[in-house]
Chain A
Amino acid sequence: MTKKTTRRDLLRGGLAIAGAGAFATTAARAQGDPAITELQPWMQQLGEGVDARPYGMPSPHEAHVKRRSVEWLTADPVSSVNFTPLHDLDGIITPNGLCFERHHAGIAEVDPAQHRLMINGLVDYELVFTMEDLARFPRHNKVYFLECAANSGMEWRGAQLNGCQFTHGMIHNVMYTGVMLRDVLATAGVQTAGKWILPEGADASGMTRSIPMDKALDDCMIATHMNGERLRPEQGYPIRLVVPGWEGNMWVKWLRRIEVGDQPWHHREETSKYTDLLADGAARRFTWAMDAKSVITNPSPQAPLTHGAGPTVLTGVAWSGRGSIPRVDVTIDGGKNWHQARMDGPSFDKSMHRFYFDFDWDGKPMLLQSRAHDSTGYVQPTKNQLRQVRGENSIYHNNGIQTWAVDARGEAENVEIG
């Protein structure tokens, strides 16, 4: 099919329509599409009433749209991770029930009436807040991505997992409602010597991270809501820390305490974990920001092209922990030639951005890549560029360009190219 093909050509019936299912045969077309010519149950029978679904769920036809895990990644499903089905989503907002989970001691089922937030350390007043107290601070609404530092970490040594859900799905992007951490800290009165905070979770892992005071007073939030409703238990109900643009580990869930101190604590999650080992045996610590990154979600290994040659929508998401994403380039020939994608939808700071590339597929194999540019001028590197600086053992912060090989049938595979 060529770009010259018109709707009228199709109506003349001179072309085979690939992927048109039961309607593809000439005989069927002569009779008409049974989806039209035959009465469907929902056209005739009554559906369920308004009392049937007090909290609605997706259509059963979308049952495949779900979080998935990779059993061999971790010792146990309690200290583990699952993955957002990016290939089944569009726009920039991740539905709450599909936001990837990462726990270190399982999902704490916290009773909000029995949950407290304590502020202690180098403050004028060591304080305790109930959840009702927190709701009386001024509230703010912000859309941010939360990306696990280990997202794409399994891909440092080469193409391993076959699907963007697995290679890039340790991320979600929701609208948070909450209060500014600076307002809560001001109530306690941070002392001049208070240069760091230590947020701590109420779960059995007692998650702690050291965060510099500048960040705490800048844009950190204590979130109570995601996408309009209260946080899900697996996302830290009743409150979690929001640390915009920074690695997900720092977004402490089930937040119960914030200590103010004059130096970092160097706890397990910022020494043994979330430090980045380089080839020379030294390691970066406090690699907080998530750099600019993107991935083509469709087509991808879990979402092949099924319609054959012709008009094709390529789409994906991009994000940067250092700002917004004004531009994404895409290639369909493995980087010989690049095209500026069409950015669409809202463009927020430290949020996911949606891009599209609408093109006419000639039906031949393709090598797809996307390359994000962020508002600081940073351009997403290739994996090999990252490896030249870092080696292959840094585990975290892999924001290298992803390649999908699409064959003539439209099936896609995770590959690396040289």
Chain B
Amino acid sequence: ADTVVFDLGRPATAAEIAAWDIDIRPDGAGLPDGSGDVWTGEDLYIDNCAVCHGDFGEAIGRWPVLAGGQGSLTNDRPVKTIGSYWPYLSTVYDYVNRAMPFGNAQSLTDDEVYAVTAYLLYLNDLVDDDFVLDRETLSTFEMPNRDAFYMDDRADTEYAIFTGEPCMENCKDTVEITARAAVVDVTPEDEAARIARQAAATG
């Protein structure tokens, strides 16, 4: 309210803003000129992406799965991919452009990012192999899961449940252990610390 305006900093130049302001929005704001098709995207994907994400977006090891999983979001083990989960195609363009390939970010041209994004749609069975992506087709593309997200509603759905004076005495008759981390046994073990603990515990 009582903010003082300080005379600090200097005007950013147009070239500086153009160099750094690369963000894209769902309405297409920020998208550059250019275009790319599925087959160009496949070549780029095989050269730059498949080593981690797999030839079909299925992923190698624990790297992110990019394709498939449609209809799995209510499963015991959902598969959240671009096709099954992501609400906006603009996010694919923005993220590939700003952060991929992992270890060589911002190395793809605008046309190449359009092409890879088109190929990712193809891998997810969302377009045919003759599809061409550009500013117009990207900003009007409707992702299957776009309506499944809603604003944080904890204030309405949880706060009322998780307030009020809780029980302090004689709250239950019995208690039993239902799950144990030692049975799962996936914790990194510090051997020296364990030995020291056990020695101390046994005197």
* A359: Cβ under 8 A from any B Cβ: no
Contacting pair B94 A277 (CB below 8 A): no
Chain A proximity mask over B137-176: 1 for CB below 8 Å, otherwise 0 = 0000000000011111110011101111011111111011
Majority SS at the chain A contact face: loop
Q: How far is the CB of B141 from chain A (nearest CB, A)?
A: 14
Contacting pair A183 B6 (CB below 8 A): yes
Chain B proximity mask over A116-150: 1 for CB below 8 Å, otherwise 0 = 00111100011111000110110000000000000
Which of A74, A206, A282 contacts B148 (CB under 8 A)?
A282
Q: A275-B149, A336-B171 are in contact. Are A136 and B6 (CB under 8 A)?
A: yes
Q: How far is the CB of B96 from chain A (nearest CB, A)?
A: 9
Contacting pair A267 B95 (CB below 8 A): yes
Count A interface residues, CB 8 Å: 107
A299 to B199 alpha-carbon distance, docked (Å): 17
Residues of A within 8 A of B193 (CB): 64, 302
Contacting pair B73 A277 (CB below 8 A): yes
Contacting pair A334 B175 (CB below 8 A): yes
* A381: Cβ under 8 A from any B Cβ: yes
Contacting pair B25 A266 (CB below 8 A): yes
Contacting pair A285 B149 (CB below 8 A): yes
Interface 9-residue window, one of A52-60, A229-237, A341-349, A404-412: A404-412
* A309: Cβ under 8 A from any B Cβ: no
Q: How far is the CB of A215 from chain B (nearest CB, A)?
A: 13
Contacting pair A104 B99 (CB below 8 A): yes
A409 to B198 alpha-carbon distance, docked (Å): 9
- Chain B positions 1-43 with a Cβ under 8 Å from a chain A Cβ: 3-12, 16-17, 20-27
A301 to B73 alpha-carbon distance, docked (Å): 34
Chain B proximity mask over A4-25: 1 for CB below 8 Å, otherwise 0 = 0000000000000011110010
Q: How far is the CB of A133 from chain B (nearest CB, A)?
A: 5
Nearest neighbor of A79 in chain B, beta-carbon distance: B102
Contacting pair B171 A68 (CB below 8 A): no
Contacting pair A389 B161 (CB below 8 A): yes
Contacting pair B200 A267 (CB below 8 A): no
Residues of A within 8 A of B150 (CB): 282-285
Which of A127, A204, A418 contacts B12 (CB under 8 A)?
A127
Interface 9-residue window, one of B108-116, B117-125, B126-134, B178-186: B178-186
Q: How far is the CB of A53 from chain B (nearest CB, A)?
A: 24
Contacting pair A417 B177 (CB below 8 A): yes
Contacting pair A268 B16 (CB below 8 A): no
* B47: Cβ under 8 A from any A Cβ: no
Q: How far is the CB of B132 from chain A (nearest CB, A)?
A: 24
Which of A74, A166, A337 contacts B171 (CB under 8 A)?
A337
A-B contact pairs, 29 of them (CB 8 A): A19-B203, A24-B203, A75-B62, A105-B99, A118-B20, A119-B9, A128-B16, A163-B187, A188-B9, A204-B99, A206-B98, A208-B98, A267-B94, A271-B87, A272-B80, A277-B78, A277-B85, A279-B74, A284-B154, A287-B154, A329-B166, A379-B163, A381-B158, A381-B162, A393-B78, A414-B180, A415-B177, A415-B178, A417-B175
